[in-house]
Structure 1
Amino acid sequence: MTTEPRVLTFPALDSATAAALLRAELALDVDPDDLVRDLAAGTQHGYVIVETRASEAFSSARIPGAINLPYRDMTPESVSRLDRDLVYVCYCESINCNAATKGALKLAELGFKVKRLSGGLTAWQAAGYPVDRETPALSLASAPTPRCAC
């Protein structure tokens, strides 16, 4: 009895289609390692880091230099002072949170260029990268529900 591999249930894309889709994916996503290298080198020109969760989450932990623009508060008025020539790198809690996607979508619909940080703040911290805090870090026992505070 021959069993076909599950991995090949759906055939691989031809190389040109795969390359186009992967290029598009890289145009949308930012790797935490690339971002931290830019911050360390002082080469953070052309983009702004945007925390898309609520202000409470922003206060508890954020990527240095990030601005807080909760996706729920994004309106034409609230973003009217943003520079349309910049790229806005949106992030949220983790891959389990879609606040970055919601924020990036709203900004894109309002005419801004956007990217998302892969893995969000969780991936950033797991890599050992620094965070800024205004309030003490939340423990799991006292974390708000939902944990991502979006």
Structure 2
Amino acid sequence: MPSLINEFPVATCTEALAHFSSRLRFETDCSDVYHSQQAGEGGYLLVDVRSPASFAAGHIPGAINIPSRAMTAERLAAFSPDTLFVVYCAGPHCNGVHRAAVRLSGLGYAVKEMIGGVTGWLDEGLTLVGEDVPHNASKSAVSCSC
């Protein structure tokens, strides 16, 4: 009996290269964002897509808050059409980040998901800023409300 790993044939190297290269066009991660921040590298706008209350309670340093439901052409008109939005939400259990990515790309903006969101940021041992950070420093306290 084959293992669950080998139940389906492995992709060819060409297919794997195309697949994983494509994922990197859509995603970045917490470590890359953190290291970009530490190096002073710009070229993107980090956006927390959770509710204003969740953002205020604790968010990633340098992020601005635009809840996914508030992403309208009027709200985003203040941003240059060539802005790269890096969006995040509470974590991998939430699809608010995907809703935001759909809205942004539908409005003509480049977008990448920061995989892991706040949960991933905390998993990396990184800290949040905000009103309730000492109380919001554990994954169980991460709220989405998106």
The question of a shared fold, defined as TM-score above 0.5 by the shorter chain, is answered with yes
TM-score scaled by length of structure 2: 0.90
The yes-or-no answer on 1:13 pairing with 2:20 is no
Point out 4+ residue stretches in structure 1 off by more than 2 angstroms: 134-140
SS at match of 1:6: coil
| 1:61 Cα offset (Å) | 0.8
Percent of paired sites with the same residue: 32
Structure 2 residue aligned with 1:89:
86
Alpha carbons of structure 1 residues 120 and 88: separation in structure 2 relative to 1, 3 Å: same
Structure 2 residue aligned with 1:115:
112
Aligned letter for 1:60? A
1:101-126: per-residue Cα shift (whole Å, max 9, x none)?
A: 11011101110000011110011012
Structure 2 residue aligned with 1:25:
23
Question: Aligned equivalents of 2:44 and 2:81: distance in 1?
Answer: 10
Largest Rg, 1 or 2: 1
TM-score scaled by length of structure 1: 0.88
SS at match of 1:128: coil
Structure 2 residue aligned with 1:148:
144
Mapping 1:5-84, distance limit 5 Å: 5-43=3-41, 45-84=42-81
| 1:73 Cα offset (Å) | 1.2
Question: Aligned equivalents of 2:29 and 2:114: distance in 1?
Answer: 6
Question: Aligned equivalents of 1:113 and 1:138: distance in 2?
Answer: 30
Deviates more, 1:128-137 or 1:24-33: 128-137
1:19-58: per-residue Cα shift (whole Å, max 9, x none)?
A: 1110011111111111111111111x11000001110111
Question: Aligned equivalents of 2:35 and 2:137: distance in 1?
Answer: 29
| 1:86 Cα offset (Å) | 2.0
SS at match of 1:89: strand
User: Aligned pair count?
Assistant: 143
